């Protein structure tokens, strides 16, 4: 038996990993990995990690990969092409979101308070997050919505320490969880009125940087959600359809 197990282990170790083509076949129809369209766009997939408002990775995120409907991914590439001459780059936080992850977010918001992630909703109660931020249905599940920011071209995201006690997402950048994003006035997924794209509570510089993102995205057919400076929806192509297919590893 021991020899058979040794032989089987050797056979399995010699087998090639799942190819990108096979991984592509496990995506919803018409969807692509963003890396296959534009590998220069930085990816910091927060819901595949513990660095998000729930404090844990969400169901359906089998890999930290941005997946989008092909037309939305191509439009995002055009945005990246417009930013590169300015030595800037897009960085995506979330793209396609399986419906099971949307439901997990709703369960989290309805659960008792959890001080571990209160930095994402300073001064608020979790149950109030259903008004304007957390919903039972999301265009992310249709592959046409994306959460993103702008970073200096070639920069790397600083490490995140899950055990650290970072400051509020709406506080000074030096006190927030580390990120290589241009300072937009709040962190990503900050449930605060300061996150409203046209908030009057942010500085002129922060407003200008948000404006750069809005202009670049709008020119390529994306529409911003007014309560979240990071959230955009692509308006072109076929009618959206929500999916619950997990994101596969490549």
Report pLDDT digits (tens) over 123-136. Answer: 888 888 887 788 77
* pLDDT at site 182: 98
Share of the chain above pLDDT 70, in %: 89
Q: Categorize the per-residue pLDDT at 143 as very low, low, confident or very high, splitting at 50, 70 and 90.
A: very high
* pLDDT at site 113: 81
Cα separations (Å) of 214 from 76, 101, 113? 13, 27, 34
Q: What is the pLDDT of residues 36-49, one digit of tens each?
A: 999 999 999 999 99
* pLDDT at site 91: 98
The residue with greater pLDDT, 116 or 188, is 188
Choice among 97-101, 137-141, 173-177, 228-232 with the minimum mean pLDDT: 137-141
Where are the domains positioned within the chain? Answer: 18-234
* pLDDT at site 2: 40
Cα separations (Å) of 173 from 126, 167, 194? 23, 9, 13
Q: What tokens were used for 62? A: 């089998």
* pLDDT at site 21: 59
Q: Which of 77, 70, 74, 73 is nearest to 30 (CA)?
A: 70
Averaged pLDDT score across all residues of the chain: 90
Size of the chain in residues: 250
Separation CA 2–CA 97 (nearest Å) = 43
Separation CA 154–CA 173 (nearest Å) = 20
DSSP structural state of residue 188: T
Q: What is the pLDDT of residues 93-103, one digit of tens each?
A: 999 999 999 99
* pLDDT at site 236: 75
* pLDDT at site 116: 85
The residue with greater pLDDT, 53 or 240, is 53
Question: Looking at residues 193-217, what average pLDDT do you find?
Answer: 98
User: In CATH terms, is domain 18-234 a member of 3.40.1350.10?
Assistant: no
């Amino acid at each position: 038996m021991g020899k058979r197990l040794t032989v089987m282990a050797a056979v399995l170790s010699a087998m090639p990993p799942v190819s990108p083509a096979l991984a592509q076949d496990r995506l919803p129809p018409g969807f692509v990995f963003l890396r296959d369209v534009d590998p220069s766009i930085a990816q910091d997939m927060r819901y595949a990690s513990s660095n998000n408002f729930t404090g844990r990775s969400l169901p359906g995120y089998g890999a930290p990969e941005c997946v989008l409907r092909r037309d939305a991914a191509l439009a995002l590439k055009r945005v990246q092409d417009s930013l590169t001459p300015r030595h800037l780059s897009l960085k995506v936080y979330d793209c396609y979101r399986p419906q099971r992850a949307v439901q997990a977010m709703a369960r989290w918001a309805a659960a008792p308070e959890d001080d571990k992630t209160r930095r994402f909703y300073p001064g608020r109660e979790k149950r109030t997050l259903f008004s304007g931020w957390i919903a039972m249905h999301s265009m992310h599940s249709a592959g046409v919505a994306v959460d993103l920011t702008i970073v200096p071209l070639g920069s790397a995201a600083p490490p995140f320490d899950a055990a650290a006690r970072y400051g509020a997402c709406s506080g000074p950048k030096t006190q927030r969880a580390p990120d290589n994003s241009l300072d937009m006035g709040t962190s990503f997924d900050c449930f605060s009125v300061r996150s409203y794209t046209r908030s009057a509570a942010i500085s002129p510089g922060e407003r200008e940087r948000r404006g750069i993102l809005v202009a670049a995205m709008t020119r390529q057919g994306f529409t911003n959600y007014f309560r979240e400076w990071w959230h955009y929806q692509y308006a072109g192509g076929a009618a959206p359809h929500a999916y619950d297919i997990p994101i596969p590893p490549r």
